[in-house]
Amino acid sequence: MTDVLDPPMILEPEGHDEHLEEHHGPTGILKWITTTDHKVIGLSYTVTAVIMMVIGGAFAEIIRAQLTTPNNTLVSLAQYNELFTMHGSVMIYLFVGPFAFGALANIIVPIQIGAPDMAFPRLNALSYWLYLTGSITMLSGFFVAGGAANFGWVAYAPLSNSINTPGSGADLWIGGLLLTGFSAIFTGVNLCATVFYLRAPGMTMFRMPIFTWNLLVTAILILLAFPVLTAGLIMLYCDRHFGTHIFSVAGGGVPVLWQHIFWFWGHPEVYILALPFFGMVTEIIAVFSRKPVFGYKGMVFATITIGALSLGVWAHHMFTTGVVLLPFFSIMSLLIAVPTGIKMFNWIGTMWRGEVWFSTAMLMAIGFLITFLVGGLTGIYLASPPLDFFTHDTYFVVAHFHSIVMALVMGAMGGLYYWGPKITGYMLNETYGKIQFWFLFIGTQVFTLPQYLLGLRGMPRRIAIYPLHPSWEFLNQVSTVGAVLVGISTVVFMANIVVSWKKTPAGDNPWDGHTLEWFTTSPPPHHNFYRLPQIRSERPTWDYNHPGHTAAEHGHSAPHRDETPVA
């Protein structure tokens, strides 16, 4: 490694931004509607996804309020079924997923690899509009006769057929999911093409930031998994309206086939949701520890391994059906713990002997580590069929995946605090951020941990009342308190946006970042860069700013040990 200060490549003389910004025609709302700029589309994604989070969160609060007493009549049984169905659907399909691969990914991935935009900007715009129309379609179920879909977010056949669920809310659910599914597929195509073809000179695959790597694997998983869901949804629609009998016993069909199709998409989907947030957390931990990602290549291989294994574990959701080969799906599911564990230790290794700065983003990342650890360890139980028989469809499972998803939410919030200044040009208030973190972190533990116990005491999921089990009341009330704390954290976040609105300019590189997005202006110009540094590692901006501190090849043989203070 040479410690030479490379001059940056000049792409566009600085000061020409007016010309770049202005000649693009419409302004205001027309600009927003017609834009193909990945940053504007990404921001639309972000805002829409956060609105979905608020809607889904409101459903959650009603659900938790209903469960505070065993015989509560706040909502009817029918309304309760709609609420948890739409809570799950909105959170998984309309918030976490699009936020993971549509929002920050759209904005950051092209910049991290030094590209001017996504490979197919118009397709990218189509993705967003499909996502928005799909979301509206799904939610409009609340306004039709019979109400929204009420068969759970997994829509198990034959409960989801036209006899058991006749309402058009179910059709709107299917239609909305088809639209957002296509949106995801197009985004997958776009991310793959962008990463494979638009990398800047010098940006080899093994110099890509971990966030971009994770989005690449996510995109490949999207391309493998989402078409299966789309096909399944079309089959379901045909069963409901065109007289086919794919999932009906009466016509010679097999209901359990839906579960296979759904989970063949559904388990990769878990990693489609998780990997982008793993990437965000990796970037945040490295930057705020002022160290390179520990075990960078191991991290990449762990991501690829997770992606590969995730395609062979779907039937662990179906252990209790009695029609799947238990040992195969058990060992495959257990093995996912290994690359996930590697990631965990790499994150810790990145912090080790670093200079850890507890900004809000870093607090969120640490909150992610702890919450994800809880969710990950309880996931190992569920990979063991006998223990799955014991806990399946109880609150233990509910608690497990809420630990995981709430960890992802912390990752998302970390990502917003980390990249928000880059996207908007203004800092978010750190005090509000830290208040938000503590409400979110403590609230998450208070609402998930009692649910593990409830599951172990036999409380099934998706029940609105529990008249025979008054002993479950107390833990449910604790859980509700936790959910309220999480709700307060969202309010604090909203308040922070208002308080920080165009207040403190961020500057180009507020966190002393590692990757290319911190080399350009905040917000970046229309085609992202006026100049690029030489790309010699996965940390081009760091290398440019700290020429004496490139990463050591091996922990034992670091070429330099000087700890020069930086101005």
Partner 1 sequence: MSKVSCVEPPALSPQGVSDRTRRWRRLRRIVTLPIAALALAGCTVPTFGASPGATTSSQSVYHLWQGFSIGAVIVGGFTLLLIFWAVIFYRRKSDNIPKQSQYHIPLEMTYTIIPVLIVLGLFAATLVVENKEVALPKSDVTINVNAFQWGWEFTYPGQNVVVTGQTTQDPEMIMPVNENVHINLTSSDVTHGFYVHAFNFSRYALPGILNQFTLRAVNTGTYNGQCTQLCGLYHSLMVFRVKVVSQSQYSAWLTGEANVAAAKAAKTATNQQTSSITPTKPAKSKGGY
Structure tokens belonging to residue 395: 């609150």
Q: Which is nearer to partner 1, 257 or 484 (CB)?
A: 257
Give residues 163-192 in contact with partner 1 (rule: CB under 8 A): 164
Which residue type occupies 263?
A: W
Applying the rule CB under 8 A, the residues between 455 and 494 that interact with partner 1 are 456-458, 460-466, 468-469
Contact 313, 336 (CB under 8 A): yes
Residue ranges in 339-368 that form contacts with partner 1 under rule CB under 8 A: 341-342, 344-346, 348-349, 351-358, 366
- Out of 224, 326, 495, 497, the only residue in the binding site for partner 1 (CB under 8 A) is 326
Nearest distance, CB of residue 256 and partner 1, angstroms: 6
Q: Which of 298, 425, 510, 523 binds partner 1 (CB under 8 A)?
A: 298
Site residues (CB under 8 A) for partner 1, limited to 62-101 = 77-78, 80-81
Do the bridges between strand 9-10 and strand 531-532 make them parallel or antiparallel, or are there none, so unpaired? antiparallel
Helix (H, G, I), strand (E, B) or coil at 26: coil
**23 lies in the binding site for partner 1 (CB under 8 A):** no
Q: Which residue's CB is nearer to partner 1, number 113 or number 459?
A: 459
Number of residues lying near partner 1 (CB under 8 A) = 99
| φ, ψ at 426 (rounded to 5°) | -130, 145
Distance of CA 148 to the CA centre of its chain: 25
Asked if omega into 421 is within 30° of 0 (cis), the reply is: no
Residue range at the interface with partner 1 (CB under 8 A); choices 22-30, 179-187, 273-281, 386-394: 386-394
Tell me the closest approach of the beta carbon of residue 49 to partner 1, in angstroms: 26
What type of residue is 327? Answer: P
28 binds partner 1 (CB under 8 A): no
On whether the CB atoms of residues 281 and 414 are closer than 8 A, the answer is yes
Q: Decide if residue 30 touches partner 1 (CB under 8 A).
A: no
Using CB under 8 A, which residues numbered 101 to 140 contact partner 1?
none
> Can you say whether residue 114 is alpha, beta or left, with left for phi > 0 and alpha for psi between -120 and 50 degrees?
left
Which amino acid, residue 54?
V
Handedness of CA 92, 98, 103, 108 (dihedral sign): positive
Measured in residues, the chain has a length of 567
The whole-angstrom separation of Cα 278 and Cα 307 is 13
Interaction residues for partner 1, span 271-290 (CB under 8 A): 289-290
Q: Is 438 in the site for partner 1 (CB under 8 A)?
A: no
Q: Judged by CB under 8 A, which of 59, 99, 128, 151 binds partner 1?
A: 151
Is the four-CA dihedral 281, 283, 284, 289 of positive or negative sign? positive
62 vs 136 by CB, closer to partner 1 = 62
Give DSSP secondary structure letters for 201-220. TT--GGGS-HHHHHHHHHHH
Burial class (CB in 10 A: 0-12, 13-18, 19+), 29: exposed
Q: How far is the CB of 337 from partner 1 (least distance, A)?
A: 6
Q: How far is the CB of 73 from partner 1 (least distance, A)?
A: 12
Q: Is 442 in the site for partner 1 (CB under 8 A)?
A: no
Tell me if 158 contacts partner 1 by CB under 8 A: yes
Helix H or strand E encompassing 9? strand 9-10
AA identity, residue 65: A
Q: Which is nearer to partner 1, 15 or 565 (CB)?
A: 565
Site for partner 1 in 219-278 (CB under 8 A): 249, 254-256
Which of residues 311 and 334 has its CB atom nearest to partner 1 in the complex?
334
